[in-house]
Amino acid sequence: MAFDDGTPLDAAALQDLDRRIIEIQANIPRIGDSTSASQGIQSSTVSAKQIVGGWHYPVELKPGKATPFEITFKGVESDPKAVILSPTKASDIPSTFSFAVSAPSLTSKGVKGNAYLNSAATKGFTIGFFYIVICH
């Protein structure tokens, strides 16, 4: 459907445009908790009361060892529903590196986790984490 410059708009064209916009809106996926699931995937809307981000440094990693770390949050007003971590390092991060957080430890004050450097690594290194905390 195209509108030409200088051509008057009529009600039928505007109604058709409105119908098409409503169809597009109905097909936009939604994310989050829901009581209905389609093909095993939950869908609904996401709303966040607060989103806070920051950077935690340093976490010293040694080959073959799990290193516990704790990230302290500043300015978080309620217990978060999620925390997202992204590792940071000045140079290459070995593929033998992994990390996880302890879900029960996630509170408005912070989160605890472990970072692991595989024993195949030739040396240790220091890593940091960018984080995003999402509260509902």
pLDDT in tens, 24-33: 777 765 544 4
Q: Name, of 25-29, 103-107, 115-119, the range with top average pLDDT.
A: 103-107
pLDDT in tens, 62-72: 999 999 999 99
Strand positions, DSSP E, 37-135: 37-38, 41-42, 50-61, 65-72, 82-88, 97-101, 110-117, 125-135
The CATH code of domain 50-135 reads 2.60.40.2080
* Domains in the chain: boundaries: 11-42, 50-135
pTM: 0.63
Which runs of consecutive H residues, i.e. helices, occur in 1-96? Answer: 11-26
Q: Which two tokens stand for residue 26?
A: 């109905």
